[in-house]
Amino acid sequence: MNYVRDVGALVRKDLLLELRARDTLPAMLLFVAAVFVIFHFALPGTPSRLETTGFLWVAILFTALLGLGRAFVPEREQRTFDGLVLAPCDRSAIWLAKSLATLAFLVAAEVVALPLYALFFHPLRGATVAAVLLADLGICGVGTFLGAMAVVTRARDLLLPLLFLPLAMPIVVGAVGASVSASPGRYLGFLALYDLLFAVVCWASFEYVVAE
Amino acid sequence: MGRLRSIPLPALAVSSLVLVTTALAFVFFVAPNDANQGFSQRIFYFHVSLAFTAYACFIGGAWNAFRYLWKRDPRADLESYVWVHQGLIFGAMVLLTGSIWAKVSWGRWWVWSEDELVLFLVLYLFYCAYFMLRFSVDPGPQRANLSAVYALFGVVLIPVSFAAIRLAKEFLHPRVFTLHGPNFGGWILVTYCVAQAAMLVLAYTLYRLELGGKRLDARLRDLRELVA
């Protein structure tokens, strides 16, 4: 139960910080809206449902990257990372808490982004919304893990997209498949499997990312 | 593993030379012409053996990464890095030979319908990012830790990506051709085995060469620091 308390404390800290600073979430919302407008101009002719679904997922992925890039910035600027690592809690709690906080921001951004997409382009299927939720879990879990790796390097913001995009490929396949296929169950199952597999791998190996 | 390490490098280099030459001879003179594609199909012997070798290199990198994290063997970090480096080199060859084969078979330099090529592209991008990660951290235990964890992620990614690419077929491209020819017996099998053995021995020779060179560099650095 200590573990759950630790995770809860860290999540509350991140959400409080964001509520006070109010920089990441508005940026993500504006970004997603601007990207949709760009898509309209980038897709010549009348794009079909297939094409715009693909672009929805590109928008979600890059908005998530924006949020993930900011995830460990408070720790880096205030130099609280060492404090977190020295605290008597399981190191993986840091990863889990940060993932949950980022997930909250991403879902909040999508609450606006998905209706906006339905307004601009095409109405959404139930399977697409389910895919969004499942994909968010994978994106936040893996992205937070890689963000923690990237934040200790010199390249930082440059590195996170490079590390993240190859790993995000299966998420895109599962998500787009669920959005356009006649039988989305297979793709949703694949997404769930990906989330589970990488959650376990991230949870088990976060210890080594923050170790000295 | 210990016995492999004791094989001297010159012996490995000579065996590589002999095997690669033999493989080339087999591929060009011994193997029969493919029924469908004729002479141009022969690049397939190298393409498939290179692919298998590259996978073996990445798995070797992940194995050494695991050894580093588990046993804290300080030499395992460098070994992991060199295996990943070899994997990238051989992976580049896979993409190159695959591209040539695609041009010869289907008239285009790149085909998204070929699973092997797409998987290798994803892996290639992943391990290029490994290099970017490794060289933007100063040498030390933290760099070794990060590299090891990332190399292990790569190996987990291989089956997941493969499954994803197969799944994506339904809504991306119909599967038109398969990579492997119809029959795999007789001289074709022998030629393939020779080519595969040649590629594996070549990879191991290059690995030992690079590892030796990097270890020498490290020792030289340490000695310079002692003298200075």
In a domain, B173, yes or no: yes
In a domain, B198, yes or no: yes
Q: State the pLDDT at residue B112.
A: 82
- Quick: pLDDT tens for A21-74: 888 888 888 999 999 989 888 887 888 888 888 889 999 999 999 899 888 888
Domain coordinates in residue numbering, chain A = 2-210
Long-range contacts of A75-79 (CB under 8 A, 24+ apart): A75/A151, A76/A151
In a domain, B35, yes or no: no
Nearest to A187 among B69, B126, B167 (CB): B167
- CB–CB contact B136 A153 (8 Å): yes
Q: State the pLDDT at residue B175.
A: 45
The nearest alpha carbon in chain B to A153 belongs to B137
- Structure tokens, A114: 């998905």
Minimal CA separation from B65 to chain A, in Å: 12
Q: State the pLDDT at residue B177.
A: 43
Which of these, A160, A164, A1, A10, lies nearest to A70 by C-alpha position?
A: A160
Between residues B179 and A116, the one the model is more confident about: A116
- CB–CB contact A152 B146 (8 Å): yes
- Report d(CA A171, CA B160) in Å as an integer: 10
- CB–CB contact A162 B132 (8 Å): yes
Averaged pLDDT, A159-172: 93
Nearest to B160 among A150, A170, A209 (CB): A170
- CB–CB contact A170 B163 (8 Å): yes
State the sign of the Cα–Cα–Cα–Cα dihedral B51, B54, B59, B62: negative
Minimal CA separation from A154 to chain B, in Å: 5
Averaged pLDDT, A131-150: 94
Nearest to B163 among A50, A163, A190 (CB): A190
Mutate to test the interface with B, among A48, A95, A173, A188 (most CBs of B within 10 A): A173
Domain that holds residue B166: 43-227
Averaged pLDDT, A133-144: 95
Q: How many CB atoms lie within 10 A of CB B149?
A: 25
Q: State the pLDDT at residue B182.
A: 46
Between residues B88 and A158, the one the model is more confident about: B88
- CB–CB contact A208 B149 (8 Å): yes
In a domain, B29, yes or no: no
Q: Which of A116-130, A154-168, B29-43, B103-117 has the lowest mean pLDDT?
A: B29-43
Q: State the pLDDT at residue B184.
A: 59
3-state secondary structure labels for all residues of chain A: CHHHHHHHHHHHHHHHHHHHHCCHHHHHHHHHHHHHHHHHHHCCCCCCHHHHHHHHHHHHHHHHHHHHHCCCHHHHHCCCHHHHHHCCCCCHHHHHHHHHHHHHHHHHHHHHHHHHHHHHCCCCCHHHHHHHHHHHHHHHHHHHHHHHHHHCCCCHHHHHHHHHHHHHHHHHHHHHHHHHCCCCHHHHHHHHHHHHHHHHHHHHHHHHHHCC
Q: What's the number of domains chain B is made of?
A: 1
Q: State the pLDDT at residue B154.
A: 92
- Report d(CA B26, CA B43) in Å as an integer: 12
- CB–CB contact B136 A177 (8 Å): no
What is the ipTM metric for this complex? 0.85
In a domain, B4, yes or no: no
Q: How many CB pairs under 8 A join A and B?
A: 89
Q: State the pLDDT at residue A109.
A: 92
- CB–CB contact A190 B167 (8 Å): yes
Q: What is the pLDDT along chain B (228 residues), one digit of tens a residue?
A: 567 778 888 998 999 999 999 888 888 887 777 666 666 777 888 888 999 999 999 999 999 999 999 998 889 999 999 999 999 999 999 999 988 888 888 888 888 877 778 888 999 999 999 999 999 998 888 999 999 999 999 999 999 988 888 888 766 654 444 455 445 567 778 888 899 999 999 999 999 999 999 999 999 998 999 998
B34 bridge partner residues: B38
For the entire predicted model, the pTM comes to 0.86
Which of these, A66, A61, A201, A97, lies nearest to A142 by C-alpha position?
A: A201
What amino acid is encoded at A62 in this protein? F
**Average pLDDT for chain A:** 89
Nearest to A166 among B125, B137, B168 (CB): B125
